[in-house]
Amino acid sequence: MNAFELYQLGRRLMKIGVRAMPDDEFGRLRGSTRAIVSDIFDNPGSSISEVTARVELPQSQVSACVAQLRENDVVETFADPADGRRTLVRPTEAALRRTRSRPPAEIDGALAAAVGDDPARLARARQALATLAELLDGA
């Protein structure tokens, strides 16, 4: 596999993930907003610049998105205790509670649509995804 093929695989996996998402507040977000929310939940206490670098979107777009998320009680911002000029962002307790109480989104239907509904193929695909997730944990 070369870099382009890996990139294409990543895009296909993202599309399967989007198809598997429930029609809830997170599933209805635009892709860029979903990327920003996911990054903030994965990296609480990050600066806007750090989020911007990781999601690779313009800082103005990240800042506008964070402002809207703050208005909707999804994230909160606070001054960096080490450098009061920097603004840090983290999920709100209310958003964390909503996330914890949400049942996990099942992928079987979306995965079957991508690889076929043969039980052996589905099992192989699930195992391959689990292996890949384990290998890339923390990457």
Q: What is the pLDDT of residues 4-59, one digit of tens each?
A: 999 999 999 988 988 887 766 655 667 788 889 889 999 999 999 999 999 999 99
- Check pLDDT > 90 for residue 88: yes
- Check pLDDT > 80 for residue 103: no
DSSP 84: T
Q: Which domains does the chain have, with CATH numbers?
A: 1-21+105-139 (no CATH), 29-104 (1.10.10.10)
What is the helix (H) or strand (E) element at residue 76, kind and residue range?
strand 75-79
C-alpha distances out from residue 19 to 77, 107, 120, 135, Å:
31, 8, 21, 24
Closest-CA residue to 69 (of 116, 117, 21, 37): 37
Distance of CA 133 to the CA centre of its chain: 14
pTM of the prediction?
0.69
